[in-house]
Amino acid sequence: DPYADDPVRHPALKVNSQRPFNAEPPPELLTENYITPNPIFFTRNHLPVPNLDPVTYRLRIVGPRGQSLSLSLDDLYQFPKHEITVTLQCAGNRRSEMSQLKEVRGLEWSIGAISTARWAGARLCDVLAKAGHQFCETEAHVCFEGLDSDPTGTAYGASIPLSRAMDPEAEVLLAYEMNGQPLPRDHGFPVRVVVPGVVGARHVKWLGKVSVEPEESYSHWQRRDYKGFSPSVDWDTVDFDSAPSIQELPVQSAITEPKDGEMVESGEVTVKGYAWSGGGRAVIRVDVSLDGGLTWQVAELDREEQRPRKAWAWRLWQLQAPVPAGKKELNIVCKAVDDSYNVQPDTVAPIWNLRGVLSNAWHRVHVRVAP
């Protein structure tokens, strides 16, 4: 069993797959804290978790002309330490709502394939500069390879455009700390990539190699997965080369309390949730409806700092509202707006796609009101 050496996990996690391990925190724990505690941070593994020795660990950096650098953990600690709060979301978050409409291929994530941490590490731009890389090529990519691999020896891999990697304002990290601790094994010990504002799939864990290439990564997960398609495309007609790889994610929000099917007290209801947008776009508003979207109220957003163009982390929100007299049930809905005034689509059907990615329709929760 290649998974026999996987780490022990927190019992509160909702497991979507045991081997490889994929799990999400239950909604009520997800928004209990702005910073997700490491043990309940969602986990998305494609392969067994490698067991790496921090003493012998080396990160290989390969430049555009093949020149290479081998960095130990101590070498990485010599770069200026950069610390930022970043929300990581899997492209498959909320996939289960898509598969309710029509079958999709993928893990049945509910609303918890998203979490937030303080990440610390070296900036990728500093490390690439040290490797002798000056930003010149415009059509280049930075490819990442993990040290996890399948039985044929193929490693997990992904890439981002070089322009993002070299932009100090994009704050791409080679992270060695998560919430003040060394990275837990499930989250990439000893080093992972953190690409703020970008889909989780590019945040390569157990990082073994970074290379500057003229093309995107040839990895399955860059080229044959994590892309969006029209609802009309099926597995017979799909042409993965025709769509760009997902990088920045669209605006997203979900209700974490109350839960679907719950009974709420009459009088007053408290609705809680999260909202986030990709590319550093800040969430400026969350609208909540108690009547399926006929009328709306504006939720209260947390006061966490949102830097312009660098709003990498989610906002938690809540709404306390009277339950309209005589109501026996509530159809609670939320939708977020980001600072480009991007909004979420009202239903799943027009954004349904065969892989069930980019699922960001209005989130809906149905509850009964206690008599």
* Partner from Mo ion, ligand MTE, none contacting 43, C-beta within 5 to 8 A by type: ligand MTE
**DSSP three-state, residue 104:** coil
Q: Is 201 in the site for Mo ion (CB under 5 A)?
A: yes
Helix residue ranges per DSSP H, the chain: 27-30, 73-77, 95-101, 124-130, 162-166, 220-223
d(CA 213, CA 64): 6
Contacts of 164 (CB under 8 A, 6+ apart): 170, 172, 195, 198, 247
* Partner from Mo ion, ligand MTE, none contacting 277, C-beta within 5 to 8 A by type: none
User: What mask of x and - would describe binding to Mo ion in positions 39 to 58, judged by CB under 5 A?
Assistant: -----x--------------
Contacts of 92 (CB under 8 A, 6+ apart): 44, 106, 107, 109, 113, 355, 356, 357, 359
Residue 26 Cα distances to 47, 95, 115, 314, angstroms: 23, 15, 11, 17
CB atoms within 10 A of CB 322: 10
Least separation in angstroms between residue 325's CB and ligand MTE is: 44
Least separation in angstroms between residue 323's CB and ligand MTE is: 36
List interacting residues with ligand MTE (CB under 6 A).
41-47, 88, 90, 146, 148, 156, 186-187, 200-201, 203-206
* DSSP run (H or E) holding 317: strand 315-322
* Partner from Mo ion, ligand MTE, none contacting 133, C-beta within 5 to 8 A by type: none
Member of 47, 59, 90, 269 binding Mo ion (CB under 5 A): 90
Q: Which is nearer to ligand MTE, 46 or 220 (CB)?
A: 46
Least separation in angstroms between residue 308's CB and ligand MTE is: 26
Q: Which is nearer to Mo ion, 201 or 290 (CB)?
A: 201
Phi/psi at 24 (5° precision): -130, 150
Q: Which is nearer to ligand MTE, 95 or 272 (CB)?
A: 95
* Partner from Mo ion, ligand MTE, none contacting 156, C-beta within 5 to 8 A by type: ligand MTE
Tokens of 167: 């932009």
Least separation in angstroms between residue 158's CB and ligand MTE is: 7
Residues lying near Mo ion in the complex (CB under 5 A): 44, 90, 200-201
